[in-house]
Amino acid sequence: MWPVYLLLNKILKTEEERKEKVFESGGDHMSVAECCPFHISSNHGTGRNAVMPSSCFLEVPHINQLFSWDCGLACVLMALATIGINDYSIQDLAELCATTSIWTVDLAYLLQKFSVSCCYFTVTFGANPKYSVETYYKEQLPNDLGRVDMLFQKAVEAGISIKCRSIGQEEICKWILSGKYIAIALVDQYKLSHYWLGDVIVSGFHESATHYTGHYILICGYDAGKDEFEIRDPASSRKRDRISSRCLEEARKSFGTDEDLLLISLEESRKQKSYPV
């Protein structure tokens, strides 16, 4: 059986020789390049014969969340620190968000305030009313539906790229191995880390047992040989965590996540970073 990174290199070379793959989103056919405010590189090097590395780990500081609801803010803070913005705290970001019911679209708007080049992928445009049956959403969803839907509707005007598209594991592998991107992902906390719950330092994560619990992590590394991702988990006491790609895929595509993923271009973000007025 071929190693994962050799398979990915074969796939990438095939993609280099054909037209860019198109996908259907909202009835419109769009290329991958069109869906983001920045060009998404398909491999690490340049030229048809470039070979992707078998592993890549980016230096991203680990920042713990303070409460059960601010994991997304901690991930944004880690992303900002990675691109060189270090003058803010989680409390500052909470004031900019002005809500404790944080959705991925809130994080996209927050990143936009700092001119971070980001592409938001999701399989649901707006708040999904079907989630009202989930214990995790039941209390806040009725109040959030209108606000969240409005943020989606105003996204284009605000300069935020949101596309309805499922992102596969191979794509995430390629982006991370290029060394040019990090990603913030919404996952089911239980499915992601039930085997290290003893290291969770934020209260509230044990209480939901096997029920869905929304949680944000930052993906910043990948080892093709072991087929493991390196992540920063704001709820973990460990500075670095490794998880299998299968575990990440299950946690990321669990009912309740909408497969939300914020792909951040480090190069573009460093060029145009700014500070909220």
What is the average pLDDT across 59-75?
97
Question: Which tokens is 262 given?
Answer: 């914020």
Q: How far lies 139's CA from each of 106, 134, 259, in Å?
A: 18, 9, 21
Confidence of residue 12 (pLDDT cuts 50, 70, 90): very low
Q: Is 250 left (phi over 0), alpha (psi -120 to 50) or beta?
A: alpha
Q: What is the pLDDT of residue 277?
A: 61
pLDDT digits (tens, 9 = 90+) for 146-170: 999 999 999 999 999 999 999 999 9
Question: Can you give the pTM of this predicted structure?
Answer: 0.82
Q: Are 136 and 213 in contact (CB under 8 A)?
A: yes
How far is residue 199's CA from residue 162's CA, in Å, rounded to a whole number?
34
Nearest alpha-carbon partner for 57 in 163, 182, 161, 141: 182
> Distance between CA atoms of 52 and 39, rounded to whole angstroms?
18
| Side-chain half-sphere exposure of 88, counting CA atoms within 13 A | 27
